[in-house]
Structure 1
């Protein structure tokens, strides 16, 4: 490298050290990554206090709130295509709420309060569990 290239190389790297953090800071400032997590946790904690209905069996625990339903899956299901449906007045599945896979807490938005839920395997076309609310 000649002396002119060394000087250019040094100045380019110094300029990049200054410019890249500025570009990163400007691109991140509008994302609101950290504030949205705190708001979500606060609303979930507030909504857990105002549960409208709660039911439980050996597979799941269900809590119904005003505009969401929280399903806690206690153990992993053997069925890979487990879909959660709303139960109508006759005990049949009506509207799809969502899909569950592994053990954990699932939260789904709902428009109206269901009479119960059915976890159904769409591949084998078998009811896994029903729970009236």
Structure 2
């Protein structure tokens, strides 16, 4: 390698070291999957409004309120990429509500009441659970 090539090689790597993190930040900045609020503290009985609908199985407990959906994940899922989708009348997933990872309480804001929700693993293409409202 000549001295000119070494100099160009050094500047190209310095430019890449700056450009790649910036591109990653701008790429992840507007993803709706990471917009959920995770609340770990327990709520006192009666401190929240009564839910419109409530469902429970061995994996999750779901409560639907007027402006948000509360999902209580009982145990950490084996699927690392679990995403909560809105469901239409036919049972198809339509819109991403948010992502769930570890055990805890998740609250996702919603604009209108969906027909149901699906918890789905996007990597393995596996449906974990489904609730119809």
Runs of at least 5 residues in structure 2 that lack an aligned partner in the other structure? 1-40
Q: Normalising by structure 1, what TM-score?
A: 0.63
Q: What is the deviation of 1:47?
A: 7.0
Q: Normalising by structure 2, what TM-score?
A: 0.63
How many residues align? The count is: 91
**1:97 and 1:91 mapped to 2: Cα distance?**
15
**2:56 and 2:112 mapped to 1: Cα distance?**
20
Q: What is the deviation of 1:46?
A: 6.7
Equivalent residue for 1:51?
Answer: 51
Q: How does 1:51-70 map to 2 (within 5 A)?
A: 51-70=51-70
> Where does structure 1 differ by over 2 angstroms across 4 or more consecutive aligned residues?
44-50
Runs of at least 5 residues in structure 1 that lack an aligned partner in the other structure? 1-40
Give the 3 Å change call, closer, same or farther, for CA 74–45 of structure 1 in structure 2.
Answer: same
Structure number with greater CO (CA < 8 Å, separation at least 6) is 2
